Structure 1
């Protein structure tokens, strides 16, 4: 390599600019150099992330802000081994914003990442606002969509290996209709030239027209529209007067789908608070046929939505209330309310969402959050999660076969009876038990000494906010 006004001076050290990234070592080769890359990286300058047991996650931030602010969204990552991650965004994203997000990091336990407010998307626009996470080992990824202390929600992020090309949307009805009360869904593409067909289901008890305007075209119930998306692009559909539950999404390549509602409020008594609801949706091939639905800590009203493909027979049982009920569910949606636990089985795979309306202890303020219920066949043996520190109270609900309750361990310790706020039987013949356990902020690992699979959900409250999600990544 040469330098100087007339390019007549040889640079003795071509590695002086540290051209090799991600810990790579620069080796001089004549007038040039090569990079000896660290494990999990390759390429001329060690910029290619290529972990041997790599997993990927795709994240998008929905429409959670009523008015624009600078509050970030948060990602909580956990692992139980040394893991390298790479976070990337689209080259079409504003360079200033991109520089705040793109990074490579190594961690052994937990990692908290801020995502700038500019990633929040708009409706009916294709935007290059998705975030991709690659990891060398399985990790748990939880998204808190806006850290504003008033209205946010959370979701576990589903790994790419479980994403697919077929989804059904579930949103929740809201208790009032204003310009700020919006139900909708968002799609994030992982690959170039992804073709998507969306068949709309439009429901409202107030609006008999049941139509939606998408970029100047009016669509009705069962109408289909098509879009084409590229890697890192997002697209959101929303309505302030329609429930979109039952809308189907079919794509030529796997995509990630999120849904929920903005400015939802409780139908329960007390002072309502406008609250965001959000969950990433499982693909239809990840649905289940057996569910145990547990109430919230204060057992307030829960609104449920069941989604099905084709006519489905559903059996419901409440151990607490002592009743059985059979339902023939047509394709699409079924709405129900609950205050106690429910055990639900079906003859075909279904998806169940819960809109939970509750509060912190001794407060009259009602907050809502949304979860997608974890099926019994989706229970796993170990959960490693971060309990956030911005909430007054945090809880995990553990659902496990009754004969294995004594095997539960949190951070390697036997459950302290003072941590258990409620414990109930949760299935016919008391086969399952669920426990609501209060936990402190920080990293927690929940497992059993017998390696018995169990279900886990997490939720929490502050004075004017709530969050909740179910499930986690599997750690070998």
Structure 2
């Protein structure tokens, strides 16, 4: 007898897939997934062993009096219902986190048909995610299965069971419909009753109906490899009424049952660890979903399979199992008579490592098994980081599994619940033995559509990043029809000068993003893999750029117009070539020129005095650095200009000033006036006080008059003033009131438009005065005319140059 699960065994079923599928996978279906088939692609993004709806069945045990129980657990307090619609049965249940709820069903719910449809589908619903185990228990022939939620189901299955060995012949499978009008096409792998091998037949099912087909034929009759294809999602169960493993010479038989995953969730890469205490190896079976499937064991090809074919072998020691197409791998415990070790047959699915999770909660039965074990397979890089119940598992417990990249361990565990976790996805199998008794089940798995993966593409194909930054790549996963696949775990690894690993589930758009930080310059290869489907891209890491170091040189002092030398310098820590640029900020009216504006050393000459800030800027192609210095400039000579009028209406103007040589000079050699930078008008300082003067002839407009003197050393000193020559009188226009207007009151507002190139003063009636700026102005002057009759209003505008315009307006006030 074996009991694969019991009350305590399922205590932690609710945690089987904690963290295995990201919450982002629960979003609404992406735009464009309009058809029902496309919607299924999205539903698979949520496919794990937890859910809110299940369709289950209990295939027949070898006696009809078996005790049938559903064990339900969840992380969230919730309520739900178990119904067998075809039998009018309904059972309410509630879930308390950390506890297991048992729902007992009558033995009449078990399927008894050898080849027939029965109304025995079991419908489980809940308000929150739950896990469900089904236990079919009979003395010395007990088995259990992990229920798969409706969201995880599919339409294409290949049955895995066990062959008849002429002890108790009962290789069998069951199909449960989740929707009405479901047509199931079944192609038996071997002749079963009236159904010939390889000849398809159809079974019509409505929601809740269950079909069972059992072979009672002599060995080697086996329903394994039978093809099941449905028009709508169905649940499929495979097993045996009571199987002797590996053959009829081995005692004793035991009931087998497993709910089978759809072929869309099968994988290509598996790693296994032998069952602890057992001798002579374990029995394994590989089922193929596609033609041309080649299966290798530890790198050696052991089977060439077509769709529906099953290969059975004995494996001793840890093993790596790979296939070029998706396969289903099942590990069996041999009967006690195989090696004389207390045990019994059991069958458990081996998850592909594409469906591994990063944490599990598993539980042994609460009693009845003297030995309990957890087989663990983990990536080699994290053997020292696997936690069991909050404590690190010693790395010495693990042994490398060939060149698979994984290591395995057989860990004795105490009765009760256990939590396991690791930084990367890993696999867990839990099992136990007693006299003619045993149980075993996978700790959990994702049920993503990894078998449908046809294209895995990384982008960008190459990139450049700076050490210390994050670099991100995006993996896009699609099926053969170029549809996005959601919920598929993509394993990323960066190798080269940097290393990083991560596993990320694809979102509804079939994409997963991986980011890592570079700590060293050089080349990295980023690999994304889903089982044996891989893609690679390259990234080049460059050192962070160090900005250049620049020095504008010392501060300088000198004279206006004197040529001084700026001695700047710069260097780059990375040795990058540099470019240079000088710039300056000078007082108003002072202009400077650089002799070599693009070199670190340059001359500078300014035509005026004051403090000039000079800046040297360097650029290394990426970064810029700037430094500044002060150049303080004085005048070489003492120079004063006579005050010139700011505005004048004369065409001729006397300009004058006083000039004497400075202390460092040997005398003034020339002096001259200029107007607007034009031709010099030479003057000669008198011997007494350095007085100079000349008569300037001006045109209308604004002019800059400069007096410059040159000493014997060639230093130029200058002063300048601005003069505006305005020969045009202001323009005055009375806008209102006009002579045609009749004003009702003697108090009248005169609206006046004035325009002039110079500021002006506008006076109305001799007492209303307003100063206005140059340009066009509109003024409003209010005057009291006193008399109610015709009056004259006098307006005068005088600009700053002395030009005057007067106008007189006639204004009428009604009597």
1:230-286 deviation digits (Å, cap 9, x = unpaired): 222211111123112211111111011010112212348997112111111110101
- Residue aligned with 1:227, SS: strand
Structure 1 position 108, deviation (Å): 1.3
> Highest CA radius of gyration, 1 or 2?
2
Structure 1 position 305, deviation (Å): 1.8
Structure 1 position 297, deviation (Å): 0.9
- Give 1:57's aligned residue: 54
1:117-151 deviation digits (Å, cap 9, x = unpaired): 222111223222222222343333333321x3411
- Residue aligned with 1:223, SS: coil
The 3 A distance-change label for structure 1 pair 227 and 136 is same
- Give 2:153's aligned residue: 163
The 3 A distance-change label for structure 1 pair 340 and 298 is same
Q: Which of 436, 440, 443 matches 1:468?
A: 440
The 3 A distance-change label for structure 1 pair 298 and 89 is same
Q: Which of 89, 102, 112 matches 2:83?
A: 89
Distance between the aligned counterparts of 2:340 and 2:283, measured in 1?
21
Contact 1:389 1:441 in 2 (8 A): yes
Superposition pairs of residues 233-272 of structure 1, within 5 angstroms: 233-240=209-216, 241=218, 242-267=221-246, 272=251
The 3 A distance-change label for structure 1 pair 472 and 58 is farther
- Give 1:412's aligned residue: 390
Contact 1:140 1:473 in 2 (8 A): no
1:399-419 deviation digits (Å, cap 9, x = unpaired): 1112212222233233489xx
- Give 1:19's aligned residue: none
Gaps of 5+ in 1: 1-52, 203-210, 318-322
Distance between the aligned counterparts of 1:423 and 1:299, measured in 2?
18
Distance between the aligned counterparts of 2:183 and 2:58, measured in 1?
21
Structure 1 position 112, deviation (Å): 3.4
Distance between the aligned counterparts of 2:69 and 2:93, measured in 1?
17
Structure 1 position 228, deviation (Å): 1.1
- Residue aligned with 2:274, SS: coil
- Give 2:304's aligned residue: 328
Distance between the aligned counterparts of 1:151 and 1:446, measured in 2?
30
Q: Which of 52, 64, 69 matches 1:68?
A: 64
- Residue aligned with 1:428, SS: coil
The 3 A distance-change label for structure 1 pair 268 and 171 is closer
Superposition pairs of residues 27-42 of structure 1, within 5 angstroms: none
- Give 1:219's aligned residue: 195
Structure 1 position 363, deviation (Å): 5.8
- Residue aligned with 1:255, SS: strand
Contact 2:69 2:134 in 1 (8 A): yes
TM-score by length of 2: 0.45
Contact 1:390 1:462 in 2 (8 A): no
Contact 1:149 1:465 in 2 (8 A): no
Q: Which of 368, 379, 401 matches 1:426?
A: 401
1:330-358 deviation digits (Å, cap 9, x = unpaired): 33222222122221111111111222215
Superposition pairs of residues 133-212 of structure 1, within 5 angstroms: 133-146=124-137, 148-174=138-164, 176-178=165-167, 180-202=168-190, 211-212=191-192
- Residue aligned with 2:381, SS: helix
Contact 2:356 2:445 in 1 (8 A): no
Contact 1:167 1:284 in 2 (8 A): yes
Distance between the aligned counterparts of 1:118 and 1:188, measured in 2?
16
The 3 A distance-change label for structure 1 pair 354 and 192 is same
Distance between the aligned counterparts of 2:394 and 2:302, measured in 1?
39
Structure 1 position 369, deviation (Å): 0.6
Q: How many pairs align?
A: 389
The 3 A distance-change label for structure 1 pair 453 and 136 is farther
Superposition pairs of residues 342-353 of structure 1, within 5 angstroms: 342-353=319-330
TM-score by length of 1: 0.75
Structure 1 position 359, deviation (Å): 5.1
- Residue aligned with 2:141, SS: coil
- Give 2:654's aligned residue: none
Contact 1:374 1:471 in 2 (8 A): no
Structure 1 position 183, deviation (Å): 0.4
Gaps of 5+ in 2: 1-49, 447-504, 506-815
- Give 1:109's aligned residue: 98
Distance between the aligned counterparts of 2:143 and 2:367, measured in 1?
12
Distance between the aligned counterparts of 2:109 and 2:155, measured in 1?
24
Contact 1:74 1:112 in 2 (8 A): no
Distance between the aligned counterparts of 1:149 and 1:467, measured in 2?
14
The 3 A distance-change label for structure 1 pair 187 and 314 is same
1:142-187 deviation digits (Å, cap 9, x = unpaired): 33321x341112322222211001101112224x314x32101011
- Give 2:767's aligned residue: none
After TM superposition, the runs of 4+ consecutive aligned structure 1 residues lying more than 4 A away are 268-271, 362-366
- Residue aligned with 2:160, SS: coil
Structure 1 position 315, deviation (Å): 2.3
Matched, 1:355 2:332: yes
Distance between the aligned counterparts of 1:54 and 1:373, measured in 2?
21
The 3 A distance-change label for structure 1 pair 457 and 74 is farther
Contact 2:155 2:232 in 1 (8 A): yes
Structure 1 position 110, deviation (Å): 2.7
Contact 1:110 1:386 in 2 (8 A): no
Q: Which of 116, 122, 130 matches 1:125?
A: 116
- Residue aligned with 1:295, SS: coil
Contact 2:176 2:211 in 1 (8 A): yes
- Give 1:311's aligned residue: 292
Distance between the aligned counterparts of 1:75 and 1:92, measured in 2?
18
CA RMSD of aligned residues (A): 2.8
Contact 2:68 2:134 in 1 (8 A): yes
Question: Which protein has greater RCO, CA pairs closer than 8 Å, 6+ apart?
Answer: 1
